Amino acid sequence: MDSLDSFQFHYFGCIENASIIYVIGEWNSLASHHDFLKSSQMQELGDLLKGVMSMDFMFHLPLSQSDLMLSAPAISLGRYFIKSGEYQRDSFVQSIFYRSMIPQARLQAGGGLIGM
């Protein structure tokens, strides 16, 4: 997997379920990841892992790993769906509710790090 040497990957085990792992990987672009998924390297990796594990879901975020705060002993990953037509990025980020939950938060929203 020589072509992946320049990319950073983080692997996390799930505290609640030891059979779940999370992989956070960095790619130059969505297209470069899709190209890798079709590559012989991915086929080789898939052959090694066949019968050992399967992927449940994957999604892509427009951020750099340098934006992530990964130094804590535990990390939570939440996936939320905003109702269509009701989402306003600025009002969400600036909401009193969110500020009261995380007063010194740095939020990643839509590809730009937002300080609070």
Give the length of the chain. Answer: 116
* pLDDT tens, residue by residue, 16-52: 888 888 888 888 888 888 898 899 988 998 888 888 8
Contacts of 107 (CB under 8 A, 6+ apart): 93, 98, 113, 114, 116
Q: State whether 56 and 87 are in the same domain.
A: no
**33 lies in the same domain as 6:** yes
* The predicted structure's pLDDT at residue 38: 93
The total domain count for the chain is 2
18 shares a domain with 43:
yes
Residue 46 lies in a domain: yes
pLDDT-based confidence at 83, cuts 50/70/90? Answer: low
62 and 20 both lie in a single domain: yes
Same domain (yes/no): 63, 86: no
The answer to whether position 29 is within a domain reads: yes
Q: Quick check: 106 and 116 in contact, CB under 8 A?
A: yes
Q: Are residues 22 and 43 in the same domain?
A: yes
Largest separation between any pair of C-alpha atoms in the chain: 49
- Domain residues for the domain of 115 are 80-116
CB-based burial label for 107 (10 Å; 0-12, 13-18, 19+): middle
On whether both 2 and 26 belong to a single domain, the answer is yes
Q: Are residues 62 and 84 in the same domain?
A: no
54-64 per-position pLDDT tens digit: 888 888 887 77
